[in-house]
Amino acid sequence: MYVYINGQFAKKEEVMISPFDHGFLYGLGVFETFRIYNGHPFLLDDHLERLNAGMKTLNIDAAFSREEVLKILKELLAKNRYKHAYIRLNVSAGNGEIGLQTESYTEPNVIVFPKPLSPPVEMAEKMAVLLDIKRNTPEGGERLKSHHYLNNVLAKREIGNAPDMEGVFLTQEGFLSEGIVSNIFWYKDGILFTPAIETGILNGITRRFVIALAREAGLTVREGFYKQEEAEAADEIFLTNSIQEIVPVTSFSGTDYPGKEGRIVKALYKHYEAHRETLWSRIQLGGIVND
């Protein structure tokens, strides 16, 4: 497998970074994961928008355009002979002296990792379980998709490696927040609910896109602070993730749900499926933006 690193393409076994990289020493790095569908990087503009904002927060003096990243992706896909792929675009602060740095990082390490994926066939269902470990609070004003993943790793250890299970965090105050690698939604009485970003969750790209899809379809969407009992009373529950797409939930806290047979999740997935080989941004959905 070939990866991209700092302007070059190399076999994965040959890729190296310095131990003086502040992404390694202090966790100063951000990343985006997204899918390539038949050569198209779905919602790439939205991912780059979030990546560029995260780099600004970390004082990394860099920004990526669609054209720049597309050039990398096209060559990377060609070298690996992939048409459908998982992509991780990773930016770490770059090399520095040992010690905390206040000046801007001007030479970040940029690595793009691909993995082959099969063309999607249908939604994959999961069971959702409440985690004992609580969601930590963001390191700054809002949660970045950053290298700080210990809370997620500890949560994953709690539930194990079962591929059909996702753990759901509560905040320290007892409000629903998000999954280990997903955002959570539920439908009840004509309304689609999801925790607000003020709970400290990652404002997922697929989360934003699904909110836009739902509103475009005429659904009422409410973001707020909710207790687990409110989700448990739902007609349908599903998770969202840029790689796994829309994931229907079959059980949560001992209650069964219709999973992929749910009316709302089937309708949303149909719209999602229709757009994934063409859209660059959620903004293209009738101009609806959810920030």
* Residue 57 CB neighbour total at 10 angstroms: 14
* 3-state secondary structure (DSSP) of residue 228: helix
pLDDT of residue 121: 84
Closest CA to 272 of 190, 209, 181: 209
- For domain 126-284, the CATH architecture is Alpha-Beta Barrel (3.20)
CA atoms of 240 and 217, how far apart (whole Å): 18
pLDDT of residue 34: 98
Q: What is the average pLDDT score of the chain?
A: 96
Residue 287 pLDDT > 80:
no
- Average pLDDT (42-46) is 98
| Beta bridge pairs of residue 87 | 34, 114
pLDDT of residue 285: 86
pLDDT of 107-166, one tens digit each? 999 999 999 999 888 899 999 999 999 999 999 999 999 999 999 999 999 999 999 999
pLDDT of 2-29, one tens digit each? 999 999 999 999 999 999 999 999 999 9
Q: How far is C-alpha 25 from the chain's CA centre?
A: 24
Contacts of residue 231, Cβ cutoff 8 Å, sequence gap at least 6: 176, 184, 186, 193, 237, 252
Residue 291 pLDDT > 80:
no
Tell me what percent of the residues of the chain surpass a pLDDT of 90. 96
CA atoms of 206 and 211, how far apart (whole Å): 8
pLDDT of residue 174: 98
**Model-level pTM?**
0.95
Domain boundaries, the chain: 2-116, 126-284
CA atoms of 27 and 154, how far apart (whole Å): 17
The topology under which CATH files domain 2-116 is D-amino Acid Aminotransferase; Chain A, domain 1 (3.30.470)
Question: In angstroms, what is the C-alpha Rg of the chain?
Answer: 19
pLDDT of 168-181, one tens digit each? 999 999 999 999 99
pLDDT of residue 120: 85
DSSP secondary structure letters along 246-276: EEEEEEETTEE--GGG-HHHHHHHHHHHHHT
- Average pLDDT (83-110) is 97
Residue 62 pLDDT > 50:
yes
Residue 66 pLDDT > 80:
yes
CA atoms of 31 and 127, how far apart (whole Å): 27
pLDDT band at residue 288 using 50, 70 and 90 as cut-offs: very low
* 3-state secondary structure (DSSP) of residue 2: strand
* Residue 248 CB neighbour total at 10 angstroms: 23
Residue recorded with tokens 């965090």: 169
